Structure 1
Amino acid sequence: MPTCKILFFLLLALCTLCGKCDEVLYQQVGGEISMDCGGLNPNSDVAWKFDDVNIITIRGKSGNKMMGTSHIKDKAGLRVNEGTLKVPNLETRDSGVYTCVQTGKQYTVHVVSVFAKPGPVLLQSSDAELHCDITGNSKAEVQWLNPSGVPVYNKPVFKLKPDKNGQWTCVVNKNLNISLKLTVVGLDTKAVEVPEGGKIVLPCSLPQTVSQRVEGGKWTADQLPSDSFPTLTNSDKGLHWKGENSTKVTFTSGQLSTNYDVTLINAQPSDEGEYVCTVKFEGGAELTAKTNLTVVAKPSGGQEVTKVRGKKPAGGGTWTKDVFGLQLWVWIAIGASSVVLIGLVVVIVLVQQRNKRMKKRVRKLRSMRQPLTAKDYCQCNRGGTELEVELQREKLFPVPRQQRNPRTHPADPNHSIDKSREQNY
């Protein structure tokens, strides 16, 4: 035992001195790795290789870069700083041996990817595989944890029949955890109710597309003959129903994806019961959904009764009659709303036109007004004597001739004034 220990330490020391110790790195797809040359002198050249193919060379004194021929050189974000090489956005093809030429230090990189077969969206209780793929020959320890975090398997490939959604985790060497989310789906359906003589959609659908390809399917019911229903088929035209509309069942003729509904018409009390929708997928997987149908019989008098959750039965069957997929009262409400809306639009247009005419009339009246012009007015000289004021008045309003003769008014005290006026005239 002492001899073995001595040999081990000697080999370790020799490896350290030679600088060729091989370090193993594990990283998931899309991650980043960082590798250091170790013991590199300042301002010295730096060169990296990938599987003996040059990636990049940097001259220590000048800083000039020379790119090699390895595909690693084309990585966006590739960086070399003081002898440390950083490779981002890892892909599976980036797994291999990275070597620092100056020191001879090597890194063996394994890029790990996790995936589910046939895909991350799986059918309920169908066969599936979880893969924790480590690129290259690796002896890494792998462990699968279920959505509760409990270890369930110790190999890279884990087979299971999922029954619910959850996040599974692949643990590599107890330090690298990579998660894989699984979505498990089944057929959606529900119980339905229809009045006697009416029609109802029998629901059957997937909540989302799945990885498995749909290969076929059908509807069955013990109370109806099998030829009443179409069959689901997948051909060059895509997934569609095959068959013809019957007196009891109608269906869409278009291409299908995740909806496999059919419509039951002229429902009768004898049609009540269980209806089964079956969809088959590639690989032998199969999903089944059951729908219970209840037919509400007409009351005495032949009037149809339709049950609406939270409301009382309607008083008359005429208003609830289907017209182009909608009940009659809905069409009436739409028509009334349309009439009101059109009336409002007409009123708004008429008001706008009236306002325009009023504005035009106002502008026309304003343009017809004559502008005010300056006029000459006689203004009195308030600073003169009373005689001057009186004379100004006489000029504005001439005195009749019979009042100007001094002989006709001998006793007039203002005779002298009249005489002066006469002289002025």
Structure 2
Amino acid sequence: MRNLIQSVLLLIVVFESAAGTYEVRYFQVGGTVKLPLPAGVDLKQHYVYWKLEGGPELAVQNPLGRKSTSEVEPWKNRLSWTDGNELMITNIQQENFGTFVCEVKRMSVVIRTITYKLLRLTATVKPSTPLLPRSTLSLTCNAETLQGHENPQIHWLNPHGERELNQQITKIATSQDNGKWTCVTTHNQIENKAYVSVTVVDLSPPTSQSQYTSKSRPLTIPCSIPAHISWGQINDTGIKEVHWHFIPKPGSSPQRLFSLSVGNPMTWKAEKDRGLRLVSEPKKKDLSLTRFRGKEGDEGDYVCALEFKNGVILNRTVHVQVLRITSSPGTELISGQQLNLTCGLGQPLPSDLRLKWFPPEQSSLLSSLTSDRHPAHLTIPEVGTGDSGKWRCELWRSKACVTFAEITLKIEPRLSVWMLVVICSVTVIVLLLLVLIFILCRRRQRKMRHLRHRLCQCKTPKPKGFYRT
């Protein structure tokens, strides 16, 4: 009796396994499908057969590990086995959706089956062309329904991985919306995904609103177009002009520095010469300006702008500040004088910036500058010759030096009493020698004039001797 009951239970288990399971999966047209085997399959003892329901056989695997896939269109070169023994279908098309059946057999007996119903998952974006910031962006995700089955739950993931709960999203586009959006369906705790790309034309986000330079450092004013945006996409949005402006002070009139012709070829035109030049040709999408050394007159706002035919203007403003060192009473001093050095931007430093001084190695002030944050103003009551040389002031943000300024001081030694006596003595001796030389020259000139006077005192002298009359 016990054996009979065990046999009945075994038959029930076998029949339930053979009846198999039914799963619904959602995939995007053009995507890749991976269909796993039923649980509990021993590939060293069982045969695996994949086929379309009521259709041809697609793939086979035997206990010896030999695998084969259909070479008949439309499946040729699109079916393969993964390392995990899943059936993989690449670039699935509209006509490939349907019901896929996997049968696991021992010899000719079916011991397990699993059936997958593939339904279409569609993600769409409007407009499909690149759009400008502040335009309307619409995203829709739809899953094909199956009568008698519960519809899946749908949500979106934005390009930053943040969850958006609505099946349809309508919003005002910003540069943060640029990238790949993911539509996620959840059915029976299994997730399937569809993807759609959104392109928002904009300038690259600035690494910092302020740029720092000095007369000791190069000046670079950054502006660029992101790598994922092409000039073709920018032209499709109706670009009108690209230009640079400079505003020296708040409220002052902007000065137009450069303008870019977006024709073919694209060329920059200089409108006001401030010694700046473009970093590279426009095709490389780097619109930055640069100069070998900064100047005090560089302070102000630099505006990089993309102007479109519909009136939209995309711009980035970079505020340039110049670090400078001032010395009072000057850069040439005598040992013993008081020296005042000031380093700064011409206004109080923000809390995230700090200064660090680096005096000459022999300076008397070197030992007192030990902390990471140094004062903007340094005073040396009596400078010495050790303070002569190059002084350096660095501007730091966090653990990085953003720029530095340098000044060279010349300190002459102070003259002692003995040095003054020696200098005066030498000066007197030199003056006496000059007077002596002058007197000797005058006496020599007098002697020469007196000798010529004695030799010749008449107008027509005659030689002495006898003459015949």
Higher fraction of helix: 1
Q: TM-score, normalised by structure 1?
A: 0.45
Give 1 or 2: higher strand fraction.
Answer: 2
Quick check: which has more Rg, 1 or 2? 1
